[in-house]
Structure formats: structure tokens, C-alpha cells
């Protein structure tokens, strides 16, 4: 799953950025871009905050005992290269993008919650690009120790005036016995951004991993396929995504779950909508242990000219595995529109109501303020103001 890109046209060698002690000092345009990526610079209900700008970590703060947040370079130095975690789930030779991230690391975050510590407020992490022809390489690691709980909210965005940017992001997740990690990623890239996240994780016994992904804004070329390996019995993983592709966007995204231990459970739920762009929606569940269960659901909606290509895959290699999938792609049924019009809505209002329901993010269990902000963007999309 790699497409060759000429990376030499991007600048990966710019200087260091100055530290930002208070994110409220960012200009209003940048703060607005971050807000649309789920990042509130006020950090009122946040356990900690991290920000990486272009080629430098510029802000890092933990506000909860038992929560460690470091720039990845500092973590590598402090912990002798992080031999247990660094490049253990993602192969650095996977493709040209992982190689670029390995050879020229700019930064990224290391977030760890200690054994038994349960944190209810999310940790905000922001990966931000400002300028023209900027290439960014980051490597992120999240560790949830035994019996701990953590929610990481990552917002990825470019500034309003950014042009021709590239982001290569490596992310590795480790959820140990009885731990729970909720990882929410919201993208707000520029229309001409090249985006290549490469993510993978592992789970021990009785662990829980919940991954939410939201993309509502245009992006030229995005390709991502995060994978999670359930190596401990009774572990559970769930991926939920809402993806919109306006005209000019090419999005190749999906999720992969490997059920490697007994009584593991995995679920992938994807909602995709094209208003003129192309979406390749992948989903894979591999059942490799008895009594493992997995369900894959991918549904796509086409408004106007566009394309959705769904690729659901199930792979059962042992007896006693229970895997299922449900896939559907198409336009809004005319009878649904007529049903709502018969109750007083005009055609545009009926269409907007159906789209709003289709892109429902309630099931993600997001913080209420973030859910409201996302719903506001969906409403703008419906009114035609966001495209």
C-alpha cells in the first residue's frame, strides 16, 4: 500500500522553531485551524498538551500525576533509545515514507500513563505545519501500562497560508494488561497536502483499544492503514471513522485488526461520503485464534460525481473463529428523501438531514465540546459552506 512520491520537492531541513509556552499566544488564524482539528488552546479540560510545529517540538506539558509527556527525541535520550517501543510495531523499511521518517526524524511525542493510573480528561497532541513546501517527519509512541486508562486526542493541521506540504507520521501504540487507550485523530490538512501516516499497535491480555478518526476537510492525497495486533486473550479493539472527500481529494484509508489470541474481539465501522473526490476504503480482520470474533462494517454515500471503492476482507485461519462483514455503497435512496419531504422538508433539507444522520459521531464517545464542534462542521458541509 504505497505510491511513489517525489519527496525532494519538500523542505525537510529548515531550522528549529521557538518554544511556545502558552498556546493561547498563537495567532487567531492558527487557533481556528487547530480548533477544527479538535485542539482547544485554552486546554480547560485537558490532562496535558503537546505541540509539534514543522520540524520542532514547541510545547509539552503534563497536568496529571502518573502521566509522562515528552518530545520523542528527549524520550529516546532519557530511556536509551526506548528499545521496548521504538520501531517495534512499524517496520522502518516498509516504504519510502517510513524510511524518510527514520533517516530524518524531526520529533513527535512520547506519552505514557503509569500502572493503575486512570485519566478521564484527554491529552491533546497537535502536529502542525506552517509555510510552503514544508516536509514533516514525526514519530509518536503511546504506552498504557497495566490497568491504566488514557484518551489521546491528536489534531493534525496546516496553517491557513500553507502550500504544498507533506506529513510523514509514524505512530506506535502499546496497551498492556487490563489497560485502555482511546485514540482520537482529527485531520484538517490543506487542500494540497500529501499525508502518509503509518501506524501500528499491540495489546496484551484484557486490554481495550478504541480508535476514532474524523476527516471532513479537503486533502489532495492521503494514505493510511493503521493496524492493531490483539496478542492477549480477551482484548478488544474498535475502529470508527467518518471520512468526507470533496472534489480534488484522493483518500486511501482503512483499518486492520489481527485477532491473535482466544476470546479477542475486533470491530471496524467506517462511514465514507464523497461529494466529488475518490475514496478507497479498506478493512481487514484476521482471525487467528479459537473463539475470536470480528465484525467489519463499511458504508459509503455518493453525492454528485465521485467514487468510493470498498475493500472489505476477512481471513480466518483456525476453527472456531466468528467473522462477519457488511458493506454498502450508493446514493441516497429517493424514497428516503420523499419520506422527509412528505413531512415538510424541502429536498435540500431532506438531503442534509440524511447526511447528518449518516455521519453521526455519537457512537465515538467523544468529549461533548468536541462532538459539538465536529457536528458544526458537518452542518457547514451540508449547507455547502465547507466545500
Confidence of residue 384 (pLDDT cuts 50, 70, 90): low
Work out the average pLDDT over 317-321: 97
Answer yes or no: is pLDDT of 9 > 60: yes
Which pLDDT score is estimated for 354? 87
% of the chain exceeding 90 in pLDDT: 75
Averaged confidence pLDDT in the chain: 92
pLDDT digits (tens, 9 = 90+) for 269-309: 999 999 999 999 999 999 999 999 999 999 999 998 899 99
Confidence of residue 363 (pLDDT cuts 50, 70, 90): low
Answer yes or no: is pLDDT of 385 > 50: no
Are the C-beta atoms of 57 and 67 separated by less than 8 Å?
no
* pTM for this entry: 0.93
Confidence of residue 382 (pLDDT cuts 50, 70, 90): low
pLDDT digits (tens, 9 = 90+) for 186-245: 999 988 999 999 999 999 999 999 999 999 999 999 999 999 999 999 999 999 999 999
Are the C-beta atoms of 301 and 245 separated by less than 8 Å?
no
Burial of 55 (0-12, 13-18, 19+ CB in 10 A): buried
Answer yes or no: is pLDDT of 3 > 60: no
- Cα 251 from Cα 178, distance rounded (Å): 34
pLDDT digits (tens, 9 = 90+) for 72-115: 999 999 999 999 999 999 999 999 999 999 999 999 999 999 99
Amino acid at each position: 500500500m504505497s505510491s511513489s512520491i517525489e519527496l525532494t520537492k519538500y523542505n525537510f531541513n529548515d531550522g528549529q522553531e521557538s518554544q511556545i509556552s502558552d498556546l493561547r499566544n498563537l495567532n487567531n488564524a492558527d487557533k481556528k485551524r487547530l480548533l477544527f482539528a479538535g485542539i482547544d488552546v485554552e486546554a480547560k479540560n485537558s490532562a496535558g498538551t503537546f505541540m509539534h510545529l514543522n520540524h520542532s517540538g514547541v510545547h509539552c506539558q503534563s497536568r496529571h500525576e502518573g502521566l509522562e509527556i515528552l518530545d520523542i527525541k528527549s524520550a529516546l535520550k532519557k530511556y536509551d533509545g526506548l528499545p521496548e517501543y521504538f520501531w517495534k510495531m512499524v517496520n522502518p523499511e516498509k516504504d519510502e515514507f517510513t524510511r524518510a521518517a527514520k533517516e530524518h526524524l524531526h520529533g513527535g511525542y512520547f506519552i505514557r500513563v503509569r500502572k493503575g493510573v486512570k485519566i478521564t480528561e484527554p491529552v491533546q497532541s497537535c502536529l502542525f505545519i506552517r509555510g510552503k513546501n514544508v516536509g514533516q517527519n514525526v514519530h509518536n509512541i503511546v504506552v498504557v501500562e497495566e490497568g491504566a486508562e488514557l484518551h489521546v486526542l491528536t489534531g493534525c493541521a496546516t496553517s491557513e497560508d500553507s502550500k504544498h506540504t507533506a506529513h510523514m507520521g509514524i505512530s506506535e501504540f502499546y496497551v498492556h494488561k487490563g489497560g485502555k487507550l482511546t485514540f482520537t485523530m482529527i485531520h484538517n490538512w490543506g487542500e494540497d497536502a500529501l499525508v502518509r501516516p503509518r501506524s501500528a499497535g499491540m495489546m496484551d491480555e484484557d486490554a481495550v483499544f478504541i480508535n476514532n478518526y474524523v476527516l471532513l476537510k479537503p486533502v489532495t492525497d492521503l494514505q493510511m492503514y493503521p493496524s492493531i495486533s490483539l496478542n492477549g486473550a480477551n482484548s478488544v479493539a474498535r475502529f470508527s471513522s467518518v471520512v468526507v472527500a470533496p472534489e480534488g481529494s484522493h483518500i486511501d484509508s482503512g483499518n486492520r485488526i489481527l485477532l491473535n489470541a482466544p476470546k479477542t474481539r475486533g470491530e471496524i465501522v467506517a462511514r465514507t461520503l464523497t461529494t466529488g473526490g475518490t475514496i478507497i476504503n479498506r478493512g481487514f480482520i484476521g482471525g487467528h485464534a479459537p473463539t475470536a470474533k470480528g465484525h467489519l462494517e463499511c458504508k459509503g454515500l455518493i453525492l454528485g460525481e465521485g467514487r468510493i471503492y470498498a475493500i472489505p476482507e476477512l481471513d480466518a485461519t483456525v476453527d472456531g473463529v466468528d467473522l462477519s462483514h457488511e458493506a454498502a455503497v450508493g446514493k441516497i435512496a429517493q424514497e428516503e428523501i420523499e419520506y422527509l419531504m412528505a413531512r415538510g422538508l424541502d429536498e435540500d433539507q431532506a438531503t442534509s438531514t440524511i447526511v447528518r444522520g449518516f455521519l453521526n459521531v455519537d457512537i465515538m464517545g467523544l468529549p461533548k465540546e468536541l462532538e459539538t464542534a465536529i457536528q458544526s462542521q458537518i452542518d457547514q458541509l451540508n449547507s455547502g459552506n465547507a466545500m
